[in-house]
Homo-oligomer: A and B are copies of this chain.
């Protein structure tokens, strides 16, 4: 590895002092155009880039942000992350990604590390800010010690959490309305004449799950229907979970199945439809299905999935922007007001097309 050239050498080669070179490096106005150009030429010629270490010693910034999420192979997190990375880079921040694997996942990985271990590692990396997505923060019962760890982290570096506000946590939050999507799904099914609607997927004890199921119950009641508890089967967020949940729903409701079911996301919907098929039922004829969170490729499954676009990508952008402004001193939480969009395809059995 060729050793890096330093500012001193550039200064010597261009016959000026290091400060002058430093000035052109930092676009200081007070450099004569002639010198500036000459120096820049040398810089380019030698392909010189200043040492982040030396710079960091002074301004204590790495221009790196840390992103902590459970599992990048989950399309939900992936599409979110893509936006984050993209927008961070266009603001000159690079993104260090940590997969905490702190949710169940189909690969059954375990990490020996706790989330607070990750906090420590992140801190050591001296990132300028941290974005947290999923994991413990999504639990309904967040342990006080975890909140304290979060606060400690935030004391060192701005932390933006994507999810609902946690009692006693000083971090910044970026929240959004998660009911809207469910409500339009229920309305849609009602409009199609369904009375008994079920719900599958989502891990119990996780906020997003409860929020959605609550919204589900609530909007059912708004139609004068009390949803049947036995038509609600929670499990988790992946295809195998949708499969298992639907299987259970079918088995525990012989002869009295719902005519429509809402799945917590597209992977779960996929699994659920597969379970129906394996039980000799077909979708949407026997049970119509729609999901709350659209992923890519849902337009290519059989049947094509009716789903809700929660605009997660937009949320990703908002999150980085929030983090960057926090790094630069702004300290307010934001709530993103977005309008989830119902995407009607085949699995809901509607013939309507947008």
Residues of A that sit less than 8 Å from B by CB: 1-2, 4, 47, 49, 51-54, 56-57, 60, 62, 64, 71-73, 75, 78-79, 81-82, 85-86, 89, 94-99, 101, 106, 109, 111, 120-121, 123-126, 152, 155-158, 238-240, 242-243, 267, 270-271, 273-274, 277, 296-297, 299-302, 304
| Nearest CB on B from A7, distance (A) | 13
Contacts A2-B156, A155-B1, A239-B297 known; A78 to B73 CB distance under 8 Å?
yes
**Centre residue among A2, A97, A300 by max chain B CB count within 10 A:** A300
- Among B57, B238, B271, B273, the residue within 8 A (CB) of A51 is B57
Is the pair B98, A121 in contact by a Cβ cutoff of 8 Å?
no
* Interface pair B64/A72, CB less than 8 Å apart: no
Q: Given A97-B85, A126-B52: A274 and B301 within 8 A (CB)?
A: yes
- Bound Cα distance from A108 to B300, whole angstroms: 18
CB A80 to nearest CB in B, in angstroms, measures 10
A51-B126, A155-B1 as given contacts; A94 in contact with B78, CB under 8 Å: no
- Report chain B residues within 8 Å CB of A96: 64, 94-97
For residue A62, which residues in chain B have a CB less than 8 angstroms away from its CB?
A: 52
Query: Are B85 and A98 in touch, CB under 8 angstroms?
Result: yes
A273–B300 alpha-carbon span in the complex (Å): 8
Whether B64 lies near A71 (C-beta < 8 A) is no
Chain B residues near A270 (CB, 8 Å)?
A: 297, 300-301
Q: How far is the CA of A1 from the CA of B179 in the complex (A)?
A: 35
Q: Which residues of B contact A304 (CB under 8 A)?
A: 274
